[in-house]
Every structure is written in structure tokens, then in C-alpha cells.
Amino acid sequence: MIQRALDVQKNAYAPYSNFKVAAAVLCTSGKIYTGVNVENSDYTAGMCAIRNAIFHAIAEGERQICAVATVGGANGVITDYCPPGGTCRQVMREFANPKKLLIIMAKSPTDYVEKTLEELLPMSFGPDNLK
């Protein structure tokens, strides 16, 4: 998953921040979907990498994700781990069990940190709260 994210990072469209982010999402089907951040001159119209990957998976019929890998850095150079932002965390919560969803923040295929969504989004609100 990390390598898939690293492979597509070059495709990120980040002319304003120059911070290129890529993500790979593993679904319970075993398929992996990738996404990159896509900025827009009207900043609010952009899309982050993780949501892009998740929405790609949803468009292909997936409904459950079990792992997310993310990489990112200024000018495409990775110098630190790239944690998901708040909106991405909430979108992940919609399609995963927060106790089980593994989030891998990587600098390389061998240098990474793993957290569960519950660790990054404690006391989250999700679909089960609406039942």
C-alpha cells in the first residue's frame, strides 16, 4: 500500500501549496484504490488525497475500508509522516470500524507509523450513532 501511494504521489496537483499528498486505501474486498490531492484556485474546491481514494473506492462499489496509507511532502519530497486531516478522518469513520481501521503514515516502505482511526479520532460520531 505504501508503495502504491508513493507511485502516484507525482500525480498530485498542488500548484498553490506545493505539498503533494497521495493515499492508498485497502478495502475488505482486497482491492487497493489510490488518490492524490487536487488543489484549485478557489481553495475550498480542492480535494485531499485520502478522500479522493475513498471516493474512488465507493464509486467502484466498495463500502468498507480496512487500511489507509498516506505519504506527502513539500514539492513531493517526503521528510516527515503525513497524518490525515480532520475531514479525512471523519470520512474514514463513515466506511470503517474505528477500532479496526489501520492508518499507515509513511516516509518510505520501511519507515512508517501505524495508528488506528480510534487513536486519531477518539469518541467519533458515525453511522451507528444514527440508529
Q: Which residues contact 35 (CB under 8 A, 6 or more apart)?
A: 8, 22, 23, 25, 47, 49, 50, 51, 52, 53, 54, 55, 56
- What single letter denotes the amino acid at residue 75? N
- Which residue type occupies 117? L
Residue owning grid cell 481514494 = 53
The domain locations on the chain are 2-130
Q: In what order do the strands lie in the sheet with 65-74?
A: 32-36, 19-27, 65-74, 102-108, 111-116
Q: Where are the beta strands (DSSP E) in the chain?
A: 19-27, 32-36, 65-74, 102-108, 111-116
Other beta carbons less than 10 A from residue 80's beta carbon: 10
Could you read off the pLDDT of 103-130 as tens digits, one per residue? 999 999 999 999 999 999 999 999 999 9
Instruction: Estimate to the nearest angstrom the gap between the alpha carbon of 110 and the chain centroid.
Output: 18
Predicted structure pTM score? 0.95
The CATH architecture annotation of domain 2-130 reads 3-Layer(aba) Sandwich (3.40)
- Per-residue pLDDT of 33-86, as tens digits, reads 999 999 999 999 999 999 999 999 999 999 999 999 999 999 999 999 999 999
